[in-house]
Structure 1
Amino acid sequence: MSSPVRLRAALLAPAVILTALATAPAARAVEVAPSTPQIDTLERINRTGVIRLGHRESSIPFSYMDRSTGRPIGYAVDLCTRVVANLRRDLKRPELKIEWVQVAAADRIPALLDGRIDLECGNTTNTAERRQKVAFTVPHFLTGAKILSKKAVGIDNLDELEGKRVAVTKGSTGEALVKEQAKMRRNAPQPVPVKDNAEAFATVDKNAADAFITDDILLLSFKANANNPADWQLNARMLSVEPLAMAMRRDPAWQKLVDAAMTRIIVDGEINAIYNKWFMQPTPPRNVVLNVPMSPLLRASFVAPSANPAF
């Protein structure tokens, strides 16, 4: 195993994040009347004995494929696995099986709505727009969008994106941000839409795009796992503030069980060991240590976990 690569997290001060959370439209909680679910999730789980969990292909360290085992791994994957362990107990169904289903940013919400998956275990931002279609459980991470580029290009802010090619994952908040910037600027940035985060990074790596915009923690991971991390740079300032949480269908009985399971994982302190495993210890595929301690704001949110935080 190679020596751990230790990175310092470029995180905003809690007070700054609190201000951003209070003013960010995409992350502000809104009351949305629940719709009648087309799928009775619990009935199907009880009938089939299977819970379908959606995972991502390359959202390191949240949800990605371990090529050595062919299985999904990551922070969100571990949390989902613990949620299922709690559900087995609550439903008195210890034999319940997990069926893993790979989804992409562009089809994760449709996969919930059409029943391909019951719970999405990735790095999905809880936004007002998405809450019109699906529900979210308690946030497990707070992040924000940043810009990753090669040092030779050296993009440090949104103004420097003018006229540049920007790799974005289809269906992501990064894609929405770039499209919004394109409407506001005379020399608009040019979105380069791709299917997933690994392809977005590869697009910049081979100079088919000038920058990649997504959650800062994902960009830290891609930079750390690059062949030459020193060739890459992250801009200093977050462009948004985004609470990440597991998504599920708007099915009240199902939501109540998942929320209770996730709350138990937080209140009992299980989440601390899972967090440290993925953000403070060596992780696949390159034995990288991200060295991102839990932020004071995230820790504070765990004191009184809520699926409807005031973000």
Structure 2
Amino acid sequence: MQLRKVTAVAATALVLSVTATACGGGGKDSSGSGSGGGKIKIGIKFDQPGLGLKQPNGTYAGFDVDVATYVAGKLGYKPGQIEWVETKSADRENALARGDVKFIAATYSITDERKQKVDFAGPYLLAHQDLLVKKDSTISKGTDLNGKKLCSVTGSTSAQNVQKTIAPKADLRKYSGYSECIAGLQSGAVDALTTDDSILAGFAAQDRYKGQFKLAGLKLSNENYGIGVKKGDSATVTKINSALTSMVSDGAWQKAVTKNFGPADYKNEPAPKIGVIVK
């Protein structure tokens, strides 16, 4: 009889111990508070200087990285609790749907088509399609591109947009990546490179290219960069929008712009208003 009482007490203690562990003791936090030593997974690009770049020493740098780090901080996560996940353009919607990441900050333009699959916070940057040319280039408007070699990456519609709208006789050259286009521009193999001005500024701001290139300032399109969140997660969208508002008001947003794009003399737009999409 005495043995049964002791066994019952021990069983009760075991149940209480397991319950306490399950409720709070150091497991991954999914509430967004960052408490309990949890981590947060954030999607970024790994190959875009000035925006999202994995550096040789294993650290990450760029405007998107700075924005995401600030937002994570407002959600309760310290930099050491962030796990960066590479999210290529073609896999961004799937990564959110699978729950691979909590949110994505990766030159992710807000479009009606994408809003059918994911929710967006922001926008946090208004970019434009532009041209990058050599510092001494006389190219200043789209029509100057007729007969000139225009580079863009395979699969991009940027070069076709230039050819369709302002320079029908531009000689399109497609490379596998922007790094190859930049190298071609440096060597003279191409006369101009086109994509979002923020991406162009990021590449031009690299130490090895400083002072060699300039943006033409054509503003051929409006690209509203947003932070992608899993469809239906309105609570996270609200929290991120609040964080972005704080980042602008306390000066951290402009500081990040200057740090990451300044060397390319990037004439950025003012911080966009949250929820306002520029068509």
Q: TM-score, normalised by structure 1?
A: 0.63
Please report how far the alpha carbon of residue 111 of structure 1 lies from its aligned counterpart in structure 2 after TM superposition.
3.5
CA distance in 1, matches of 2:228, 2:220: 23
Report 1:6-85 matches (<5 A): 46=30, 50-67=39-56, 69-85=57-73
Report the equivalent of 2:9: none
Q: Which amino acid aligns with 1:85?
A: G
CA distance in 2, matches of 1:130, 1:193: 26
Q: CA RMSD in A?
A: 3.6
Change (3 A) 1:79 1:181: closer
Tell me which protein shows more helix as a share of its residues. Answer: 2
**Alpha-carbon deviations, 1:241-276, whole Å to 9, x = none?**
2211112332x1x2x233222222234356644323
Change (3 A) 1:188 1:274: same
Report the equivalent of 1:118: 102
Change (3 A) 1:290 1:165: closer
Q: Does the CA-based 8 Å contact 2:49-2:199 persist in structure 1? A: yes
CA distance in 1, matches of 2:215, 2:30: 46
Q: Secondary structure at the match of 2:221?
A: coil
Q: Which runs of 5+ in 1 are unaligned?
A: 1-43
Matching of residue 132 in structure 1 with residue 110 in structure 2: no
**Alpha-carbon deviations, 1:206-265, whole Å to 9, x = none?**
444332112223323333335454442321321112211112332x1x2x2332222222
Q: Secondary structure at the match of 2:185?
A: helix
Q: Secondary structure at the match of 2:123?
A: coil
Change (3 A) 1:74 1:273: farther
User: In the alignment, which of 192, 205, 229 is matched to residue 224 of structure 1?
Assistant: 205
Q: Does the CA-based 8 Å contact 2:130-2:194 persist in structure 1? A: yes
Change (3 A) 1:60 1:228: closer
Q: Which runs of 5+ in 2 are unaligned?
A: 1-27, 32-37
Change (3 A) 1:127 1:163: farther
User: In the alignment, which of 87, 90, 103 is matched to residue 103 of structure 1?
Assistant: 87
Q: Does the CA-based 8 Å contact 2:126-2:225 persist in structure 1? A: yes
Matching of residue 280 in structure 1 with residue 258 in structure 2: yes
Matching of residue 146 in structure 1 with residue 158 in structure 2: no
Question: How many percent identity over aligned positions?
Answer: 23
Matching of residue 248 in structure 1 with residue 229 in structure 2: yes
Please report how far the alpha carbon of residue 82 of structure 1 lies from its aligned counterpart in structure 2 after TM superposition.
3.1
Q: Which amino acid aligns with 2:229?
A: M
Matching of residue 259 in structure 1 with residue 237 in structure 2: yes
Please report how far the alpha carbon of residue 163 of structure 1 lies from its aligned counterpart in structure 2 after TM superposition.
4.4
Please report how far the alpha carbon of residue 295 of structure 1 lies from its aligned counterpart in structure 2 after TM superposition.
4.1
Q: TM-score, normalised by structure 2?
A: 0.69
Q: Does the CA-based 8 Å contact 1:62-1:122 persist in structure 2? A: yes
Please report how far the alpha carbon of residue 54 of structure 1 lies from its aligned counterpart in structure 2 after TM superposition.
1.4
Please report how far the alpha carbon of residue 177 of structure 1 lies from its aligned counterpart in structure 2 after TM superposition.
3.0
Q: Does the CA-based 8 Å contact 1:79-1:271 persist in structure 2? A: no
Question: Structure 1: which 4+ aligned runs deviate by more than 6 Å?
Answer: none
Greater alpha carbon shift after TM alignment, 108-117 vs 236-245: 108-117
Q: Which amino acid aligns with 1:248?
A: V
Matching of residue 205 in structure 1 with residue 186 in structure 2: yes
Please report how far the alpha carbon of residue 63 of structure 1 lies from its aligned counterpart in structure 2 after TM superposition.
1.8
Change (3 A) 1:112 1:279: same
